[in-house]
Amino acid sequence: MEQMRKETATVYSQQELATGIYDMWIETGLALMAKPGQFISVYTKDKSALLPRPISICEVDQDHQRLRIVYRVAGKGTKEFSGYQKGDSIDILGTLGNGFPLEAAKGKKVFLIGGGIGIPPMLELAKQLAAEKSIVVGYRNDELFLADELAKYGKVYIATEDGSVGTKGNVCNAIEEQGLKADVIMACGPMPMLRALKAYAEKEGIPAYISLEERMACGVGACLGCVVKTKEKDHHSHVNNARICTDGPVYLASDLDI
């Protein structure tokens, strides 16, 4: 059984999928323990940039022991990663976080919803989830990264901010325009999108599992940097804060005060 660890892994491949969006496969035994919705911490070689970058797992290849991450270049850490080539070393810690609860959606009608750089974790989830999947994804423009791959696992509905493809607007606009319905929501994306989906799920009376993002330091639950407000007292912290890195990143939206 694989155990959470920090290791020096090897880049298997890298390409730019869309403007500023990179797609990297990493050779690592951690693939054997990876679950959809989990993430890894990636460390820079530039030691002026100390903290690991938490990046969600896009796809898992257990046969070849590889993990795929798809990430946006947002600062000097991710800029460094984007320059890595096949064969380069990459320090990672993983696998981290709880992941999506596959059992909660098994056999049901489910929305898999991704917004922007929240789309990548939906791919492995779509692969592994045995359910009737409507995959709703929101982009800025017509650079529809991963949409064709998602289409292998369910019907894909697209929203774009600039209206160039699909529904003009966000994922909620697409759900409304297409008259879509589901029994369960699983989503990852920016906080305004997640808040809107939490409200939508409450109105529809269905559960929504949402994956959150926050500034992190340790990634293992020690520093308490990445907390989210919870409705009830958290079992570990004994206050209304849960740690996104260990108790999350996936939460039942109704448990949160966001």
Partner 1 sequence: MNTKVTIAGVEFKNPVMTASGTFGSGMEYSNLVDLNGLGAVVTKGVANVPWEGNPTPRVQETYGGMLNAIGLQNPGIDVFIERDIPFLKQFDTKIIVNVCGRSIADYVEVVEKLGDQPVDMLEINVSCPNVSHGGIAFGQKADCLYEITQEIKKKAKQPIIMKLSPNVTDITEMAKAAEAAGSDAVSLINTITGMKIDIHKRTFALANKTGGMSGPAIKPVAVRMVYQVANAVKIPIIGMGGIANAEDAIEFMLAGATGVAVGAMNFVNPYTTKEVAEGIEQYMKQYNIENIMDIVGTVR
Q: Hey, which residues between 7 and 36 contact partner 1 (CB under 8 A)?
A: none
Whether residue 95 is preceded by a cis peptide bond, meaning omega within 30 degrees of 0, is yes
Length of the chain: 258
Q: Counting contacts by CB under 8 A, is residue 6 touching partner 1? A: yes
In this structure, are residues 122 and 99 in contact, taking their beta carbons and an 8 Å threshold? Answer: no
Q: Counting contacts by CB under 8 A, is residue 52 touching partner 1? A: yes
Question: Which residue, 7 or 202, has its beta carbon nearer to partner 1?
Answer: 7
Stretch that binds partner 1, among 62-70, 133-141, 161-169, 237-245 (CB under 8 A): 237-245
Question: Which residue, 94 or 114, has its beta carbon nearer to partner 1?
Answer: 94
One of 143, 149, 183, 214 touching partner 1 (CB under 8 A): 214
Whether residue 207 is preceded by a cis peptide bond, meaning omega within 30 degrees of 0, is no
Q: Minimum distance from CB of 135 to partner 1 (Å)?
A: 30
One of 127, 217, 252, 255 touching partner 1 (CB under 8 A): 217
Q: x/- site string to partner 1, residues 82 to 101, per CB under 8 A?
A: -----------x--------
One of 226, 250, 253, 256 touching partner 1 (CB under 8 A): 226
* Sequence-ordered list of residues with C-beta below 8 angstroms from that of 111, at least 6 positions apart, any chain: 134, 135, 136, 175, 180, 182, 184, 185, 186, 187
CA distance 153 to 150: 6
One of 241, 247, 251, 256 touching partner 1 (CB under 8 A): 241
The residues that touch partner 1, with contacts defined as CB under 8 A, are 3-6, 43, 47-52, 93, 214-228, 236-241, 246
